Structure 1
Amino acid sequence: MDQTHAKALEALQPFIHLANSTSATSPRFIANLITNATSNPQTYVFAELLESPTIQSLRSPDTPAEFQGYLTLLEIFAWGTWQEYQATPNLPKLSAEQALKLRLLSLLSLSATTKPLTYSALTTALSLPSTADLESLVTTAIYASLITARLSPATNPPTVNVTAVAPLRDVQPQSLPKMISLLTEWETRCGEVVADLEAEIARIKTDAAKHHAKEQSHQILLEEAVQRQAASPLEDAGVTAGPRSRGGKPGLNAGRRGAGSGGNKREADDFDEDDGFFEAGDGGAELGSRMDIDEGAGSRAGSSSRHSKRVLGRMS
């Protein structure tokens, strides 16, 4: 669409040069210049031509009445519509090329302001005799890159679905204060929205920091509880941490005293207790009965080593 606007400005430049030349002094010459500019198939913007002092000279009271309407006609081509042309008296009659151009420009304005864009509304606004003429006009606008649209004749009601409009309509000078007011209001609303967003972002960050601190506190309490739970069974069983072994792990000592090598000493004492038997050669010569007990019973069969034997006998 920007390329379309650039092409339209480029097409208008020859007419601007003619308007600024020294020969452009006659009202008839100016009227012919306006007619040629509005009839050219490539021209769609006219603000620069309107600003020319030569064109503005038609506002002079000395301008003949037959040429006074040409300035108003050029203003309608710049920002007006087909309906405005029909409603304004004493305007020059349009050629076929001018009529097509003004209808195309009016279609741009209607596409930007009217929703939905029905067939009936367009044929009335553009004074088209039939639906076929409307479809031909819309197709011409599409191929000229003035609009991006799709015809929907089968819908109820039939509509023209416009999705993009070329920025080719000039702005009426009287509408500038209203546009400035609307833009100022829009800027104020944008500032309020930005302030609300910043306040919401600050609130979310504060809540996130509080939640993080709460999670850290909960994690610390949980770790302390786990440590207390792990130490509780050992304390109930009377097990205390002993000195560290060579591997670096603490040893555990049973609660009762004397554990360790004391168990081996007791077993040795049990063997020395008098159980009614005596050893041979231990001061008893007479034996009521004697038997040899092989202390190596249960040893591996076929062992070449001999086990010591104890001769036990019951005292008579």
Structure 2
Amino acid sequence: MAQDMLLGNEEPSNNKETFLQQFCLLAKNATGAALLDVIKQVLDAPNVFVFGELLAEPNVAELKDGPDAKYYNTLNLFAYGTYKQFRAQPQEYIELTPAMQKKLQHLTIVSLAIKSKSIPYAVLLNELEIDNVRHLEDIIIEAIYADIIHGKLFQNTRILEVDYAQGRDIPPGYTGKIVETLQAWVNSCDGVSNCIEMQINYANAEKAKRLYNKERIEQELINLKKVLKSQASDSDESMQIDTHGPGTSGTSGMSQSEVRKKPTKMKNPRSSAVGLKFSK
């Protein structure tokens, strides 16, 4: 059965940036043990998950090559690293409190969520070095309530589906890679746009061709109908002429053979008896 851990569509609160700015102000004028204490506080703070601005403070950057380099390394780990990196070389960092370790695990989940929106439990167990599924789900739920990720736990398939993940700090020198990635994306979009434009032009040309052929066929049909109508009219006139025939005057439409066969009437039958002789 799936367990829905989505906490709504609200954007992360700006209070997180406010908390970080407060620590930056404290660190700006702090030196020695006071500065180290500020770093511990910011690593322990439950509402701070970005550390780039604090790392950029000059007095914090000076710790990198000094006797307190572990503090700088730990702050740098929380800004860009993962829990597995800490476990690989714990001697490079200060001793983490349970709260710090849990925060680093939350940040590790964020890094995984940025790379993939569907994260198997197996990957999470390995990256967080946890051997108990129930413990893993508790860590994920805490990250959701911390508002650094939004997602759903699918317990039947053992997958975390991520809907939102807060961004992490960008490592120095990584801006160029981002520019290259964005430029590649722009080039890809241009290629798709050109392809779509070519398809539109081809479709318009085909449409114009079909309209031209349709108009041509319709005109040919009109011309053919005119020709057929003219031929039908000529045929009707020819049939009428053949029916009446030539020489209609004086014969009432009879043919010459009929006229020959018709007996003629004698005008004066008595005249035929002239010159005949009768004997007794």
Interval containing the TM-score (normalised by the shorter chain) = 0.7 to 0.9
User: Out of 136, 139, 145, which is 2:138 matched to?
Assistant: 136
Separation (CA, whole Å) in 1 of partners of 2:135 and 2:228? 90
- 2:86 maps to a residue whose letter is Y
Instruction: Give the percent of matched residue pairs that are identical in Structure 1 and Structure 2.
Output: 24
Instruction: Describe how 1:2-21 pairs up with structure 2 within 5 A.
Output: 3-4=11-12, 6-21=14-29
Instruction: Describe how 1:235-246 pairs up with structure 2 within 5 A.
Output: 235-238=234-237
Separation (CA, whole Å) in 2 of partners of 1:70 and 1:15? 15
Q: CA deviation at 1:15?
A: 0.5
Separation (CA, whole Å) in 2 of partners of 1:221 and 1:79? 76
Q: Secondary structure at the match of 1:14?
A: helix
| Partner in structure 2 of residue 231 of structure 1 | 230
| Partner in structure 1 of residue 167 of structure 2 | 168
Q: Secondary structure at the match of 1:17?
A: helix
Question: In the alignment, does 2:192 pair up with 1:193?
Answer: yes
Higher helix share: 2
Question: In the alignment, does 2:41 pair up with 1:33?
Answer: no
8 Å CA contact 1:149, 1:160 repeated in 2:
no
8 Å CA contact 1:238, 1:255 repeated in 2:
yes
- 2:136 maps to a residue whose letter is L
Separation (CA, whole Å) in 1 of partners of 2:223 and 2:182? 62
Q: CA deviation at 1:41?
A: 0.8
Question: TM-score, normalised to structure 1's length?
Answer: 0.67
Structure 1: where are the runs of 5+ without partners?
A: 240-253, 257-265, 267-316
Instruction: Describe how 1:246-257 pairs up with structure 2 within 5 A.
Output: none
Higher strand share: 1
| Partner in structure 1 of residue 269 of structure 2 | none
Structure 1 runs of 4+ off > 4 angstroms?
A: none
- 1:102 maps to a residue whose letter is L
8 Å CA contact 2:125, 2:131 repeated in 1:
yes
- 2:150 maps to a residue whose letter is T
C-alpha offsets along residues 114-139 of structure 1, whole Å, 9 cap, x if unaligned? 57523233222112242221010111
**Structure 1 pair 106–5 and aligned structure 2 pair: CA distance change class (3 A):** farther
Separation (CA, whole Å) in 2 of partners of 1:41 and 1:199? 54
**CA root-mean-square deviation:** 2.5
**Structure 1 pair 202–228 and aligned structure 2 pair: CA distance change class (3 A):** same
| Partner in structure 2 of residue 92 of structure 1 | 94
Separation (CA, whole Å) in 2 of partners of 1:210 and 1:142? 59
Q: Secondary structure at the match of 1:161?
A: strand
- 2:202 maps to a residue whose letter is R
Aligned length: 234
C-alpha offsets along residues 156-214 of structure 1, whole Å, 9 cap, x if unaligned? xxx23323232331111132222222222222222222222222221221221122111
Q: Secondary structure at the match of 1:111?
A: helix
| Partner in structure 2 of residue 78 of structure 1 | 79
Name which of structure 1's ranges 1-10 and 73-82 shifts more when overlaid on structure 2.
1-10
Greater relative contact order (Cα 8 A, min sep 6): structure 1 or 2? 2
| Partner in structure 1 of residue 211 of structure 2 | 212
8 Å CA contact 2:153, 2:159 repeated in 1:
yes
| Partner in structure 2 of residue 52 of structure 1 | 57
| Partner in structure 1 of residue 262 of structure 2 | none
**Structure 1 pair 114–206 and aligned structure 2 pair: CA distance change class (3 A):** closer
Separation (CA, whole Å) in 1 of partners of 2:15 and 2:228? 84
Separation (CA, whole Å) in 2 of partners of 1:222 and 1:231? 14
Separation (CA, whole Å) in 2 of partners of 1:121 and 1:36? 30
- 1:12 maps to a residue whose letter is L
| Partner in structure 1 of residue 263 of structure 2 | none
Q: Secondary structure at the match of 2:141?
A: helix
- 1:73 maps to a residue whose letter is T
Structure 2: where are the runs of 5+ without partners?
A: 1-8, 243-251, 253-280
8 Å CA contact 2:63, 2:69 repeated in 1:
yes
Separation (CA, whole Å) in 1 of partners of 2:10 and 2:167? 9
**Structure 1 pair 228–200 and aligned structure 2 pair: CA distance change class (3 A):** same
Give the number of the structure whose alpha-carbon radius of gyration is greater.
Answer: 1
| Partner in structure 1 of residue 121 of structure 2 | 119
Q: CA deviation at 1:94?
A: 0.7
Question: TM-score, normalised to structure 2's length?
Answer: 0.75
